[in-house]
Structure 1
Amino acid sequence: MKKELLLASFLTAGILLPSPATAAVFSTIYSFGDSLSDNGNVNQAVLQATGGTQTFPPSPPYDGGRFSNGLMWTELLAQQLGIPLVNFAFGGATTGSANTLDNTLPGIPLPGLEQQINNFVFNTPVADPNALYTIWVGANDYLPTNSIGFTPVATPTIPLTHIQEAVNSLVGIGAEQIMILNLPNLGEVPRTSFSLDGNCPVNNQFDADCLNDVTIAHNNGLVSLFSGLPPEVNIIPVDINSLVSDAIENPAQFGLTNVTDGCFNQITFAVCSNPDEYLFWDSQHPSATGHQLIAQLAFQSLGIPEPSAIAGLVAMGLMAVGTRVKGKR
């Protein structure tokens, strides 16, 4: 009988405490990237530079310095995990040192991923191994821009090298849990999808189909980018590409009615009446609903069971053990 009760205690403990390999307990989220993660850093820089007289992106219709109409996925993920968020992401960031908002916001120094990481490493001699580090960047390296200091690239070689260097820098100071998000098809956002016709013409890297091709190459490169990292480092991939593609192909399943347009028209400044049903807020940024979907996928990628799921597993485990104990008698 004692043996059966001991087995019961071990089984229950195993259910209550998920394996560290699948469900880590994080202390903080440190976020790096571009406008897809920036929850107000560019806006703070603009407020400081203008003495509080200007905001960017303009609020309203943008929400509190976010490049969307609501909370960003990193904020939602931090809320779901119940931990603080420290955000280093800046809108306009490329994977290198350039920032594509240099012409939009002249005279305001805005970093790329390289400076974000370098600043963090300089000020953090030893990284918290229990923190979650997120990197989502790359779109600005490929999309058309009015930047005066950066020319978009047509192949992923340089962006992937920059991302690898960023990860290596974090690992070098002790980071162990690093979440990497891939890119949605860049030819399927409202800004570029008008030229989506199944054909990538010669000498037009900004054609929608050409942008989709480079997206595929970028995402494929991410898959094999971190094979040489130390065994204690856990790279957590998040397949944003599949999520966005699924939402575009089956909008009703995601509660969406519009997956081709931005709710906010940046030319007419008109805002749609049902933003919660739009995948995109403007010509290239997710809506608040889109960020909710991204946050949900990011959480699922961590492999942490929902509380209700844990309770169900506990009940199943206890029922199974109880059956064994009863049978033993």
Structure 2
Amino acid sequence: MAITKWIFLSLTMMMTLTLTLTHDQQVPCFFIFGDSQSDNGNNNPLITNAKADYRPYGIDFPGAVPTGRFTNGKNMADFLAELLGFSDSIPPFVAAQGSAILKGLNYASGAAGILDSSGINLGDRFCMNRQLQNHMATIDQIAALLGNQTAADIYLRQCLNVVNIGGNDYINNYYQPPPSSSSSLTPDAFADELIATFSLQLRSLYDLGSRKVAVFGVGLIGCIPQEISLYPITNGSPCVDSINIAAGLFNDRLVSLINDLNTNLPNAQFTYINVTSIALGGPSLIGVKVLDAPCCEVQKAGAAAGQCLPDGAVCGNRDEYIFFDNFHPTQISYSMMASRAYRASLPTDTSPVDIERLVRQ
């Protein structure tokens, strides 16, 4: 069954990876674009129901404090920063200032989507277009810090950019009850709309000076507890297969888009992170037992349904759970996913290269 094949890098391989990493920072700066899988505090000041600035979120984060990360501890952006040799996590856009921005910024925002309208049901958020606008403002500041735009351009070409967005365009748009304006489209037509918009956004990122860009596909969102609770499961599958199939249509188009960008944009180095391959193939996650239920007590109704209940109960065996709430993985899941994105375990995990090779090119 698909959910029982949720596979990640083994603890043994993770230890080997840690031991062979250099302590030197592999890129001068790291910029993160995305949604709640990467958000580390950007949504805290916003008027939105997509917030994680309360316990039990952050229960396993250093200091056991909620920071706005939608998990029990560190998220995937944090682990990628560690693998890249950064001594600290990349700061959120809303909190960074001064020369700290030279190491990069995290623009990710819970409920954000490729489409401006995705996630509007939850309130304010920095959609992908707004994240790009924020990055433009950051580039102006970097140019001022380095003395001129030419110096900033040279600097930015060496940096890594990670884009992990698209799930909310399905969860909080296409499949959002009651039906959204997008739901009248066929899954193929909606995937076409998403890719057309995403193509413009990735090209804008290139035009802003980015050259090394890792783009994550949409994962098996039909297997998250919230979607399983909302939609009927057929043919004995443990997941909502129709949602996974629809997301797969987008991923297929994204692979073609990445190839097109690399072919037609001078010096472009885009790569695709195949989250589905990471989920379904390779060594197993040792010790994980609970695959389709949240670790925290979740809110049952309202706009924040599926997120952790404030000060609610939380499981003690968090490293045995895939999901922390009804939407978001646990820290252990994020660590394994980041490891496979950084250093592919299977040839299908990334295309054309993994992040480790991308930053060395």
TM-score by length of 1: 0.71
Aligned to 1:176: 211
Deviation at 1:304, TM superposition (A): 4.9
Deviation at 1:117, TM superposition (A): 1.0
Amino acid at match of 1:69: N
Range moving further from structure 2, 262-271 or 64-73: 262-271
Which of 250, 253, 267 is the matching residue for 1:218? Answer: 250
Q: 1:197 and 2:234 equivalent?
A: yes
**CA distance in structure 2 between the aligned counterparts of 1:257 and 1:27, rounded to whole angstroms:** 39
Which of 289, 304, 319 is the matching residue for 1:276? Answer: 319
Q: 1:188 and 2:204 equivalent?
A: no
Aligned to 2:305: none
Aligned to 1:111: 126
Deviation at 1:97, TM superposition (A): 1.8
Aligned to 2:334: 291
**CA distance in structure 2 between the aligned counterparts of 1:274 and 1:237, rounded to whole angstroms:** 33
Change (3 A) 1:25 1:58: closer
Aligned to 2:85: 82
With a CA cutoff of 8 Å and minimum separation of 6, indicate the structure with the bigger relative contact order.
2
Aligned to 2:199: 164
1:62-101 CA distance string (max 9 Å, x none)? 122111111111111112212345100100001022351x
**CA distance in structure 1 between the aligned counterparts of 2:30 and 2:76, rounded to whole angstroms:** 12
SS state of the match for residue 341, structure 2?
helix
**CA distance in structure 1 between the aligned counterparts of 2:54 and 2:242, rounded to whole angstroms:** 34
Larger radius of gyration: 1
Aligned to 1:303: 356
Deviation at 1:294, TM superposition (A): 1.7
Query: Are the equivalent residues in 2 in contact too, given 1:265–1:283 (CA < 8 A)?
Result: no
Query: Are the equivalent residues in 2 in contact too, given 1:40–1:65 (CA < 8 A)?
Result: yes
Deviation at 1:172, TM superposition (A): 0.8
Structure 1 unaligned residues grouped into runs of 5+: 1-23, 201-206, 306-329
Query: Are the equivalent residues in 2 in contact too, given 1:136–1:181 (CA < 8 A)?
Result: yes
Query: Are the equivalent residues in 1 in contact too, given 2:288–2:319 (CA < 8 A)?
Result: yes
Query: Are the equivalent residues in 1 in contact too, given 2:164–2:216 (CA < 8 A)?
Result: yes
Aligned to 1:263: 295
Amino acid at match of 1:39: N
SS state of the match for residue 165, structure 1?
helix
Change (3 A) 1:199 1:233: farther
1:14-73 CA distance string (max 9 Å, x none)? xxxxxxxxxx94111101111111111101435xx9xxxx99324201122111111111
Query: Are the equivalent residues in 2 in contact too, given 1:98–1:150 (CA < 8 A)?
Result: no
Change (3 A) 1:150 1:92: farther
Aligned to 1:131: 159
Aligned to 1:235: 270
**CA distance in structure 2 between the aligned counterparts of 1:149 and 1:197, rounded to whole angstroms:** 23
**CA distance in structure 2 between the aligned counterparts of 1:241 and 1:151, rounded to whole angstroms:** 24
**CA distance in structure 2 between the aligned counterparts of 1:55 and 1:159, rounded to whole angstroms:** 22
Change (3 A) 1:130 1:57: same
Range moving further from structure 2, 226-235 or 88-97: 226-235
Which of 44, 54, 58 is the matching residue for 1:59? Answer: 54
Aligned to 2:29: 28
1:205-263 CA distance string (max 9 Å, x none)? xx92220111110111111013143241111221111222348xx85x44311111111
Query: Are the equivalent residues in 2 in contact too, given 1:199–1:209 (CA < 8 A)?
Result: no
Query: Are the equivalent residues in 2 in contact too, given 1:30–1:85 (CA < 8 A)?
Result: yes
Change (3 A) 1:148 1:115: farther
SS state of the match for residue 290, structure 1?
helix
TM-score by length of 2: 0.65
Query: Are the equivalent residues in 1 in contact too, given 2:114–2:169 (CA < 8 A)?
Result: yes
